[in-house]
Each structure stands twice: as structure tokens, then as C-alpha cells.
Amino acid sequence: MSKRDLKKYLETLKKKELETQIIELYNRFKEVKVYYDFVFNPKEDKLIDECKAKIANEYFPIKRKRPKARRSVAQKYIKHFMDLGVNPVMIADVMWFNLEIAQTFNKEKAVKQDAFYKSMAKSFDEAVKFTLVHGLIDEFKQRLLAVYQEAQIQEWPFLYTMERSLDMVD
């Protein structure tokens, strides 16, 4: 069904029928419930804090012994926040936090897999682009440069990828 067809269909419904359908969607689909819960009670700070705790737990676990260090956890949260329409400043904060915690982890336990560094270089590129697109470069330039300098100090492979991303800032 196209958007136009949906609009036509919705126009034919009475208010009570429309309310019933929305309630049914809310009860049936988790995504709809999450969306409406966020729209009517956007506790962005709480969401961001929970997200940061889960990302930190990937690298410095509380309950298990071995860290998983999965970039995908942060990426899922970031995508989810974008879908919900969370404030771009908060999304950028999560993006930079993810890189900073990964660097802290790498400083303590040097990662030997190239996939980790390649993944972090991609995260860096995405964070730079997101920050630029949303006009937040002034707010995050210090963190951006700190992440890049720490990557240099730790001698990360794929540093040239990060350098290309930095060229967009200048």
C-alpha cells in the first residue's frame, strides 16, 4: 500500500475507528509502543544514560569476566535513537562516547584483531559525518580531536581512514 492509498483509507475512517486501529497497533507491535512511549514521555537523558551503561558494559563487564567489545551494540542504539528522533546532540554524544570507551579499553588491553580497529575507524567516520551534518562540530571538535590523537598514540591501524574523515572537518 502506498502512502497516498493509506491517506485515502484513513480519511474514510471515523474518529472512533481510527482510535481503535491506533490502540490495536500499540498493543500488537512493540515498535509502535516504544515510539508512543517516547513521544509522550521523552526521557532522553535516562535513555542516553542506559545506553552508555550498556556500551561501557561491553568493554568493562560487571557480571561476566570477558569483555565482548562489540561495536554493534552502540550502532543499534544509535540507529534506534535516530528512528525515535532523539536530540542530535545526544546521539552525537553517544557516538563519541562509544569511541572514547573503546580507546580506554584498548589502552588497558591492546586488541589484536584488525576488525576492531576497522570497525572503530568506521564509527569515527560516521560520528564525524553526523556531527558535521547536524552542525555540531563546534560542540564536539575537542572530543573529535582527542579521539584522533589517542588513536595516533595507540598506533591504531586504519589511521589513514580517520585522517580522511578529519579532512571533512577542515
Q: What pLDDT sits at residue 42?
A: 81
> What's the pLDDT tens digit per position in 3-59?
998 888 888 989 999 999 999 999 999 888 888 888 887 888 888 999 999 999 999
Q: What pLDDT sits at residue 151?
A: 95
User: In this structure, are residues 103 and 146 in contact, taking their beta carbons and an 8 Å threshold?
Assistant: no
Residue 63 has pLDDT above 90, yes or no: no
Q: What pLDDT sits at residue 49?
A: 93
> What's the pLDDT tens digit per position in 66-111?
888 888 999 999 999 998 889 999 999 999 999 999 999 999 988 8
> What's the pLDDT tens digit per position in 128-153?
999 999 999 999 999 999 999 999 99
Return the domain boundaries, the chain: 1-41, 42-169
Dihedral pair phi/psi, residue 63, rounded to 5°: -95, -25
Q: What pLDDT sits at residue 97?
A: 97
Q: Name the more confident of 97 and 64.
A: 97
State the Cα–Cα distance between residues 7 and 87, nearest whole angstrom.
28
User: In this structure, are residues 94 and 52 in contact, taking their beta carbons and an 8 Å threshold?
Assistant: yes
Residue 170 has pLDDT above 80, yes or no: no
Q: What pLDDT sits at residue 131?
A: 96
Q: What percent of the chain has pLDDT over 90?
A: 64
Q: What pLDDT sits at residue 148?
A: 96
What the block records as the C-alpha cell of 35 is 515510539
The pTM of the full predicted model, rounded to 2 decimals, is 0.83
State the Cα–Cα distance between residues 123 and 117, nearest whole angstrom.
10
